[in-house]
Copies of this chain bind each other. A is one copy, B any other.
Amino acid sequence: MIQKRKNPTPPKPPANKRRRRKPGGRKNYQHNKPAEQTKPAGPTKPAVPQIPTFPGAPKLKIMVMGGLEEVGRNMTVLEYEDDIIIIDMGLQFPEENMPGIDYIIPDITSLIPKSKNIRGVIITHGHYDHIGAISHLCPKLGNPPIYTAPLTAELVKRRHEEYKIAPLNIHKINPDTEKLQLGKFNVEFFRVTHSIPDSFGVVANTPVGSVVHTGDFKIDFNPVNDKPIDLTRIAQIGARGVLALLSDSTDAPHSGYQLSETEITGDLEKIFLQSEGRIIVGTFASMINRMQQLIELAEKYDRKVLVEGRSMNTNLEIAQNLGIIKTKKGTIIEEKEFKRLPDNKLMVMGTGAQGEENAVLMRIANADHKFLKIKEGDSVVFSSSVIPGNERTIQSLKDTIYRGGGKVFHYQNMDIHAGGHAKAEDLRLIIKLLNPKYFVPIEGNHFMLRIHGEIAEHLGMPKENIFIASNGQIMEFMKGKNQNETSGRLTTEKVPTEYVMVDGLGVGDVSSIVLRDRRMMADDGMFVVIVTVKRKTGELVGSPDIISRGFVHMKESKQLINDSRDLVRKTVGKAKNKNFDPMFLKNKLRDHVGELLWKKTKRRPMVLPVVIEV
């Protein structure tokens, strides 16, 4: 019997996770209060009582630890009795209200006590939102074996070298032919197309049924420098029966079909045809296929290629070694030859199409590069779509390039028209071919999952079989009394999935309080009041000191500082007492000075009173 339960809609995350989001306009630092990082503390207690089911029947549990409430920090855990496999371990770039944070990684609190059960970590492809947390998390999980395709393996290794810790336990696999037995999970792979080669999807065959995880994918029958997505294979997997499909939702809100990467070649070629000066292309170092495309165009139009930027050179080297990027002898040149050749024989390929700080394009535009700067006649190509949040930075970069004499070619829609992710119609096809019993949209903001869920519903899937989950929310699948029937449910339990923030060498040491203080000081600065008083009596010694930063220009605000100092003196005078309490004085100073500053400036700097007793 199939256990039919109405999926409680709207699927709200449990209260402890329901971060109250107050997105804002400008002064929006005070929003999105991230929860304090939780310390690993053994298995977590279920937040709500379990809904009764078939007691004793072994369950397959799926927990998507990250990527259900954001684009990034993708990580999925499959657990069956004492066996665990993990798919992807990615990072998320920080949100606007997290100043100073480098990135966010998944919370593995619930996994640490079960480390010995982890049979393998499967990495679908080499983008940071799928590999970026490996070096932080694998060492804490007993260094489990990592299984991935050759290019991804090399990218993971290179990134790991930066950490100067014990090497990872990486196994290269051939996704076309290989199968793995990881505990009770029999795992197969299927090639998909994406904006990086060697991307695959995962089929985890379990005693309860087959779970398919697509990874990031698009349907491209004419990819550049890559094999097409293996739809036949996907159809065969579907024909065998799929219990649950976890599928990429990143581009679900966009209707229609994704275009082939081949479509871009035409656009790029136009630039080569019309440019009489140098061609300078900014792109992501991970866009290996775009690199090959550009190199081929350069060869066709008799230009030599200077590759700038450490990450781009590293990735080029890796891809060349694996035979993924092919270049003719002499195409790639160094500084010396670059300087000798005429402009119309040159192409520069570097990082920076997102306006990233210190990226090659930025350094060239700002004339900070050691030998390159923009000059009259340069054609500068932004070869990637704009990541939300970078728009103003890119506008300003374009201004700088135009000021330098360059011309900008920005196919803003280049990666929308031929991006790396399947659009609505593609997603329909994949759902149809795999024909799963349960459907779990993954990899996207909540609204993207919802739209992807609607696509499945329109295809006739029962609404209660579509699980729009929150990060860490536990899904369970088990055999019914009739062994041919399997039922699944989205429970209301969840494992912890707090933000774990990486800042410099610190992992998880920036708490919500630290961030709140950063935002407060960013908005209105701080104001330190230091008074020296006699121990016990609290009588003022000398003059109060005031130090302020980020609040007002001090030299021009003498009156305000004097007024504050007078108020401090008065406050100390009132607080002096036989039973002098420095804590009481501190609070009074904070309140009184804060009030004065607000009245005079309508700003709220952080007021820090310091009472020194001598």
- A447-B553 in contact (CB<8A): no
Selected from B20, B402, B518, B526, the residue in CB contact (under 8 A) with A450 is B402
Q: Which residue of B lies closest to A358 (CB)?
A: B24
- A545-B612 in contact (CB<8A): yes
* Complex: A120 Cα to B376 Cα, angstroms: 41
- A504-B602 in contact (CB<8A): yes
- Tell me how far the C-beta of A416 lies from the nearest C-beta in chain B, rounded to whole angstroms: 11
Chain A 376-397 near chain B by CB (<8 Å), digits 1 or 0: 1000000000001111111111
- B506-A547 in contact (CB<8A): no
Chain A 38-80 near chain B by CB (<8 Å), digits 1 or 0: 0000000000000000000000000000000100000000000
* Complex: A25 Cα to B391 Cα, angstroms: 10
Is A32 interfacial (CB-CB < 8 Å)? yes
- B396-A23 in contact (CB<8A): yes
- A23-B552 in contact (CB<8A): no
- Tell me how far the C-beta of A289 lies from the nearest C-beta in chain B, rounded to whole angstroms: 23
Is A138 interfacial (CB-CB < 8 Å)? no
Is A583 interfacial (CB-CB < 8 Å)? no
Interface residues of A in 213-227 (CB under 8 A from B): none
- A391-B393 in contact (CB<8A): no
Is A571 interfacial (CB-CB < 8 Å)? no
Interface residues of A in 507-556 (CB under 8 A from B): 509-511, 513-515, 517-526, 528, 530, 532, 541-542, 545, 547, 549-553, 556
- With A402-B450, A517-B549, A524-B100 in contact, is A26–B94 under 8 Å at CB? yes
- Tell me how far the C-beta of A262 lies from the nearest C-beta in chain B, rounded to whole angstroms: 23
Report which residue of A26, A398, A601, A602 has the largest number of chain B beta carbons within 10 angstroms of its beta carbon.
A26
- With A26-B102, A29-B99, A389-B389 in contact, is A550–B518 under 8 Å at CB? yes
Is A31 interfacial (CB-CB < 8 Å)? yes
Is A28 interfacial (CB-CB < 8 Å)? yes
Interface pick from A144-152, A233-241, A349-357: A349-357
- Tell me how far the C-beta of A609 lies from the nearest C-beta in chain B, rounded to whole angstroms: 10
Is A600 interfacial (CB-CB < 8 Å)? yes
Is A93 interfacial (CB-CB < 8 Å)? yes
List the 9 shortest-distance A-B pairs measured between CB atoms, nearest first. Answer: A24-B357, A388-B391, A504-B602, A522-B522, A23-B393, A99-B522, A518-B550, A521-B521, A517-B550
